[in-house]
Amino acid sequence: MLQVNNLAFAYSEAKPLLKNINFTLEKGAHLCVMGESGCGKSTLLKAIYGLLDLQEGSIFWNEKQVLGPAFHLIPGMHDFKYVAQDFDLMPYTTVADNISKFLSRIYAEASEKRTQELLEVIEMTAFADVKVKHLSGGQQQRVAIARALAKEPKLLLLDEPFGQIDNFKKRSLRRMLFAYLKEKNIACIVATHDAEDALSFADKMIAIKDGQVIAADAPQQMYQHPKNKYVAYLFDDVNELSIAGKQMLLYPHQIKIVKTSALKARVVNSYFKGTYWLIELLLEDQKIYVKHHKDLKIPATVGVKIDGLDLTI
Neighbours of 243 (CB within 10 A): 18
pLDDT for 266 equals 96
Q: List C-alpha distances in Å: 283 to 37, 242, 252.
A: 31, 10, 14
Closest by CA to 150, choosing from 179, 117, 174, 127, is 117
Q: How confident is the prediction for the chain on average, in pLDDT?
A: 92
pLDDT for 51 equals 94
Instruction: Encode pLDDT of 246-300 as tens digits.
Output: 889 999 999 999 998 889 999 999 999 999 999 999 998 999 999 999 999 998 9
Residue range 2-229 forms a domain whose CATH class is alpha beta
Instruction: Encode pLDDT of 242-260 as tens digits.
Output: 887 888 999 999 999 999 8
Highest mean pLDDT among 105-114, 160-169, 216-225: 216-225
pLDDT for 53 equals 93
Band of residue 310 on the pLDDT scale cut at 50, 70, 90: low
Q: Which residues of 122-156 are buried (b: 16+ CB within 10 A; e: fewer)?
A: bebeebeeeebeebeeebbbbbbbbbbbbeebbbb
Would you say 259 and 303 are in contact if contact means Cβ atoms under 8 Å apart? yes
**CA dist., res. 257 & res. 265, Å (int):** 9
**Percent of the chain at pLDDT above 70?**
98
Element (H, E) at 65: strand 64-65
More confident residue, 72 or 239: 239
More confident residue, 85 or 61: 61
SS3 for 50?
coil
Would you say 230 and 214 are in contact if contact means Cβ atoms under 8 Å apart? yes
Beta strands 56-61 and 239-243, pairing class: unpaired
* pLDDT for 311 beyond 60: no
Would you say 255 and 283 are in contact if contact means Cβ atoms under 8 Å apart? no
Average pLDDT rounded to a whole number, residues 192-206? 92
Q: Where in the chain is the domain with CATH 3.40.50.300?
A: 2-229
pLDDT for 74 equals 81
Tell the burial category of 84 from Cβ atoms under 10 Å away from its Cβ (0-12, 13-18, 19+).
Answer: middle
What pairs with residue 306 in β-bridges? 255, 309
CATH of 236-306, one of 3.40.50.720, 2.40.50.140, 3.40.1800.10, 3.90.1150.10: 2.40.50.140
* pLDDT for 225 beyond 70: yes
Would you say 202 and 190 are in contact if contact means Cβ atoms under 8 Å apart? yes
Average pLDDT rounded to a whole number, residues 216-236? 95
pLDDT for 169 equals 87
Would you say 176 and 142 are in contact if contact means Cβ atoms under 8 Å apart? no
Which residues are CB-neighbours of 144 under 8 A, at least 6 positions away? 83, 87, 88, 89
Would you say 180 and 148 are in contact if contact means Cβ atoms under 8 Å apart? no
Band of residue 118 on the pLDDT scale cut at 50, 70, 90: very high
pLDDT for 103 equals 85
Instruction: Encode pLDDT of 27-82 as tens digits.
Output: 999 999 999 988 999 999 999 999 999 999 999 999 899 999 989 878 788 899 99
Model confidence, pTM: 0.91
* pLDDT for 23 beyond 90: yes
Average pLDDT rounded to a whole number, residues 203-222? 96
* pLDDT for 194 beyond 80: yes
How is residue 126 annotated by DSSP?
Answer: G
Q: Where in the chain is the domain with CATH 2.40.50.140?
A: 236-306
More confident residue, 102 or 190: 190
Start-to-end CA span in the chain (Å): 55
